[in-house]
Amino acid sequence: MHYTGTIWRPPYEASSLLLEVTAGCTHHKCKFCTLYEDLPFKFRMSPLEDIEADLLEVQVLRHDPLAMVSARLQGIFQPEPIRRVFLTGANPFVLKADRLLAISDLIRKYIPTNETIGCFARITDVTLKTDEELKKLSEAGYDGLTIGIETGDDEALQFMNKGYLAADIIEQCKRLDAAGISYSFFYLVSISGAGRGEIGAKLTAEVCNQIHPKLIGANMLTIYPESELYQEIQRGTWAEESEIEKYKEIRTLVDNLTIPTAIAAMGASNAYQFYGELPQDKEKLLVMLDEIIESNREAELRHYRTHLRHL
Ligand code: SF4
């Protein structure tokens, strides 16, 4: 398989087939981000021949007698059919609709059991497509996009160079809703900075309450020295929230969400991991977050953050 650099995927895509169709990020400007720094280029599109070769490799492995014997020796008697493919790279949804459709055709040819195709997407990737193209992509199996909106706080979005505003999130997600393409969000706790977290959480809830994210995954900002944001902190132009403030921020987000959705903290950036569905789990989640806030374990949580070598 062709895999380039560190491969990032959401925790809930653990059982999806990871297929490289891009590497890196077309935007590459968010001040806090160091995710694709290990690549010698900003963004690269995989040749269709490489994608097809990978799909062929998967198909052969699924039917190869030696691979089957090896699987049996490992106690795997009947491998589950592949039902979902996750395209890798920071924003494969930026590819032109024709190319995404060529990729879904190849997936269907080599993995006929596959049902849906997911990937990371930027809000600006949706802007680039017509309503008709979105509909065709939906019909071709594109569903369950993961969009790192980070926040609905325009001040933070602008400061961090995200390249879109809260109104764009609402507009483009409504277009995804109309096309039948579902999506989940990543929310970056502390992106609004010290003293503004709860404002950012309320603004984000206002955005989310107008659209239909399946899940909102909270990730806690963890700042590495290679990031532009680290330089801002050194210059005294930006300050991070305390760890307890970060939990107050998540609490405010949960408290202000009025839509049915799931909320989770699942990645390594979260010292406490949780999952709950709204509205039914709201009270349980608020009690759990209150306990963390009242425990006042700032030093312990800070130690976790500063010793997190990788996200
Ligand atoms: S869009 Fe995502 S991957 Fe690209 S720079 Fe921003 S946070 Fe990093």
pLDDT of residue 63: 73
248 and 163 both lie in a single domain: yes
Q: How confident is the model at residue 74 (pLDDT cuts 50, 70, 90)?
A: confident
The residue from 92, 127, 162 where one domain ends is 127
Tally: H helices and E strands in the chain: 12, 10
Produce one character per residue of 27-52: b if its CB has 16 or more CB atoms within 10 Å, e if not.
bbebbbbbbbeebeeebebbeeeebb
Residue 236 lies in a domain: yes
User: Does residue 295 register a pLDDT over 80?
Assistant: yes
Q: Residues 163-212: pLDDT tens digits?
A: 999 999 999 999 999 999 999 999 999 999 999 999 999 999 999 999 99
The residue from 97, 127, 157 where one domain ends is 127
Token digits of residue 188? 């970056």
Residue 32 Cα: closest atom of ligand 1: 7
149 and 36 both lie in a single domain: no
188 and 282 both lie in a single domain: yes
27, 43, 91, 125: which to mutate for ligand 1, most atoms within 8 A of CB? 27
Residue 138 lies in a domain: no
pLDDT of residue 266: 87
pLDDT of residue 77: 62
Mean pLDDT of 121-125: 98
Question: What's the domain range around 204?
Answer: 144-311
Residue 26 Cα: closest atom of ligand 1: 4
More confident residue, 270 or 22: 22
Question: Is residue 28 within 6 Å of ligand 1 at its C-beta?
Answer: yes
* CATH number reported for the structural domain that contains residue 161 in this entry: 3.30.750.200
pTM exceeding the 0.85 threshold for the entire prediction: yes
pLDDT of residue 78: 66
Q: How confident is the prediction for the chain on average, in pLDDT? A: 94
* CATH number reported for the structural domain that contains residue 100 in this entry: 3.30.750
Pairing state between β 183-189 and 145-150 = parallel
Task: Round to whole Å and give the CA distance between 3 and 24.
Answer: 12
187 and 279 both lie in a single domain: yes
The residue from 127, 162, 190 where one domain ends is 127
Looking at the 3D structure of the chain, how many domains does it have? 2
Residue 133 lies in a domain: no
